[in-house]
Amino acid sequence: MNFMMLPPEVNSALMFTGAGSAPTLAAATAWDGLAAELGEAAEAFSSVTSGLASGSWQGPAAAAMAAAAAPYAGWLSAAATRALGAATQAKAAAAVFESAQAATVHPELVLANRNQLVSLVLSNLFGQNAPAIAATESTYEELWAQDVAAMVGYHGGASAVAAQLAPWQQAIQALPGRVAEMATTGPAASAAAALASGPAAALGIGNNGSGNFLSIGNIGNNNLGSGNTGSANLGGGNIGNGNLGSGNTGNVNLGNGNNGFFNFGNGNLGDTNFGSGNSGNLNLGSGNRFGSGNIGFGNRFGDGNFGSGNAGSYNFGTGNNGSFNIGSGNNGDSNIGFGNFGTNNLGFGNNGSNNIGFGLSGSNQIGIGGLNAGIGNMGFGNAGDNNVGFFNSGSNNIGFFNSGDGNFGFANAGSTNTGFWNSGGTNTGFGNGGSLNFGFANGGVENMGHGNAGSFNMGFGNGGGGNTGFYNSGTYNTGFSNAGETNTGWENSGNVNTGGYNSGGLNTGIGSPDTQAGPNSGFGHSGSGNSGFFNSGDGNSGFQNSNTGVSANGHSGVRNSGDATNVGFSNSGSNNTGIFNTGTFNTGIANSGSDSSGLLISGTNSSGALNSGDDQSGFNN
């Protein structure tokens, strides 16, 4: 196996396990002893034969004996020299190993880096650890490169030591008869020839294309980056052309994890977005879903909004559910003001249409009504019912400017949210255009993190779906900047790879443009289509996941179990995103109910934390 394709966990373990240089040094000592004994034998043999030939044994027989014995005496002397050379080279080989081991990263440092990554990801509830996660992964790449450099040096040093060894065949060719024949034509000679012609040159990993500079594993031309399928990319793991960033699917994206064209930002699904987590086109902001030309955060199913948390089109303000509103918290169309329920109202807290004033119940009125137009409200300017706060056009809200129902917070056009600027439903966080998110600025659904236009992601900046990590435009990856599918690692544009910079498929290592036979990459799997380590079932990425159901999609992350598509860490059940969830379609941490986002929720369709009832937002309900 090529050591350049192995992660530091493997290379470091190979260098620090086993007996080390001790056996080689012991062999050097043995060769020294053999050289001394062969030298003494050669000297004694020569002395005896010389004494006989010059003493009492004279005549033709003595001369023939001396001539026959001379090659063996010479061979003993040559063998002593060869043994001494072998001892010297064994000592040199031990020194090369010790130098390579000193240059190799200690396995404890690799383990500490991976533990730090897990800790950062587990505590990255709202994406606050994104810079630290990126720095930790950058350090991991440096560890990988350091190990590869150490192994390259080891390979070169060992090859140089081997080249200095004098072949034993030359020393025994002078021996008469069958011995010389066996030395030049036998199996030992064939093996020595094979070793002498072994590979020692190719240190690159190889691109499939031309003009790729200081990069590996590209399929395409003129990439200044690695693992791309396409051309002229300045970054890694892209599928497409001209991307300035990593993990993009599409062309000319300036950022990471985008799925589209000319996006300036991260994790967008669409074209020409400026921001992150947008699903649509020409949005300036983040977390907008299924709309175009929005300026702001968390707008949904509409175009041309200037503000945040709107569900509709051409609103100027926040938390409006409708279109052409100027203001906040309006439920309807063409209202100017706050908290109106209806259309064409001018003022605030009106329940009806075509009203001018505030707190009016009915239509076509001018004047001042009660503090609230609805019933059961505590506060003022509420057009809905049973609100605590002000300017809510929805019902059962705690907060202000909510046009949806059952929210805890402000400016939510969706329902059952805990937070603000959410146009989707059952979110815990802010600026989410999708639903069931735990975090902020997510345009997709059931994400834990921020800036995800895709769905079922744990992390940030993912334009694809089902990923554990960040900047993935592909699906079901564990890692970062993958445009392919079901990878464990980074910047892979191919599928089912374990490692980085692979534009091919089913590779274990780095920088391969080829697709292997499969059925898995990585180690220790039972099943097929898996990447990573020790997964059971089909289609998993990450570590120790078990997909035992009949779903076509596996899990991504670490130690997930259940029937289908859990994303994150130690989730059971199905379709959960986050950490330690046991129900279904939950996002967050340790939720046991269903269709909820947040922390420790056992109810259904709830957001927030510690809610055991159904359809609850907020805390401890």
CATH number of the domain bearing residue 35: 1.20.1260.20
Please report which confidence band the pLDDT of residue 492 belongs to, taking 50, 70 and 90 as the band edges: very high
Kindly write down the DSSP assignment for every residue of 9-53, as one continuous string. Answer: HHHHHHHHSS-TTHHHHHHHHHHHHHHHHHHHHHHHHHHHHHHHH
For the chain, what is the domain count? 2
> Of 137, 141, 131, 123, which Cα lies nearest the Cα of 458?
123
Average pLDDT value for residue range 106-112: 90
**Which residue among 350, 367, 397 closes a domain?**
397
User: Would residue 596 count as lying in a domain?
Assistant: no
Of 397, 415, 434, which one is at a domain's C-terminal end?
397
In the predicted structure, residue 335 carries a pLDDT above the cut 80: yes
Six-digit token string for 317: 């303000």
Residue 582 falls inside a structural domain: no
Work out the number of other CB atoms within 10 angstroms of the CB of residue 237.
42
Residue 248 lies inside a defined structural domain of this protein:
no
pLDDT band at 433 (very low <50, low <70, confident <90, very high): very high
Tell which of 166, 199, 219 closes a domain: 166
In-domain check, residue 537: no
**Domain presence at residue 197:** no
Return the pLDDT at 166.
63
User: What pLDDT was estimated at residue 139?
Assistant: 87
The confidence score (pLDDT) of residue 338 equals 95
Q: Residue 379: how many CB atoms within 10 A of its CB? A: 18
Contacting residues for 85 by C-beta, under 8 A, at least 6 apart: 164, 165, 166
DSSP three-state, residue 125: coil
Q: Could you list the residue range(s) of the whole structural domain that residue 24 is in?
A: 3-166
459 in a domain, yes or no?
Answer: no
Is the pLDDT score of 191 beyond 60? no
**Domain membership flag for residue 233:** no
Residue 24 lies in a domain: yes
Residue 383's pLDDT band (cuts 50, 70, 90): very high
At 324, the pLDDT band (50, 70, 90 cuts) reads very high
